[in-house]
Amino acid sequence: MLTRLSDIDRMFRTFDLLQNRVGGLLSDFDRAHRYGTGVTMDAGMPRTNLYDLGGKFEILVEVPGCSKEDLSVKIQGNYLELSGTRKSDIPEGYSTHRHERVSGSFTRSFTLPADVNVDGVEATVTNGILRLSLPKSESAQPRQIKIS
């Protein structure tokens, strides 16, 4: 009887090991869901928060090391495309011992939940955060209907 219980216990430990290995494989497959590790999607992709404030959307994008000249924002209807370039800050003639900050270009695109009034869009960069204020188009804003 003890042999059978130990066999069952060994079988469950094997299943646990398999579950942990498969779980690790899947978490590395799509890094977009690993917000706590400091990595979002590709290493160079900026983290982004999207908020719905009723009459407008507000988007906060982490773009450390990028100036406003390095960034581009395109909007058409409810499609938003962010792109930019991070320049390398390695001084000429120096060798690198650790390189964690990613340089190069990036592009992110989003389909917003509603159309945007392009004429009212405001964009600012402060302390490495790109802030976009995107007013919803008139047809996308909720309206109170008076009942007669």
Which has more pLDDT, 93 or 3? 93
Residue range 26-60, pLDDT digits in tens:
655 554 444 444 434 466 788 999 999 988 999 99
**Closest to 101 in 3D by CA, of 128, 73, 72:** 128
**The model scores a pTM over 0.85:** no
pLDDT at 82 over 60: yes
* Type of residue found at 4: R
Segments making up each domain of the chain, as ranges = 2-32, 44-89+103-139
pLDDT at 6 over 50: yes
Phi and psi angles of residue 57, each rounded to the nearest 5 degrees, phi first: -105, 150
And the tokens for 103?
A: 């340089």
Q: How far, in Å, are 1, 13, 14, 17, 19 from residue 7 at the CA level?
A: 10, 10, 11, 15, 18
**Reading across the β-sheet that carries 122-126, which strands appear in turn?**
48-52, 56-62, 129-135, 122-126
The hierarchical CATH code for the domain 44-89+103-139 is: 2.60.40.790
- CB distance 114 to 136 below 8 Å: yes
The DSSP secondary-structure symbol of 114 reads S
**Closest to 40 in 3D by CA, of 113, 108, 131, 139:** 108
Residue range 110-139, pLDDT digits in tens:
899 999 999 999 999 999 999 999 999 887
pLDDT at 71 over 50: yes
And the tokens for 21?
A: 């290995």
Task: Give the pLDDT score at 132.
Answer: 96
Distance in angstroms (rounded) separating the CA atoms of residues 58 and 74: 15
Extract the runs of DSSP E, i.e. beta strands, from the chain: 48-52, 56-62, 71-76, 79-86, 104-111, 122-126, 129-135
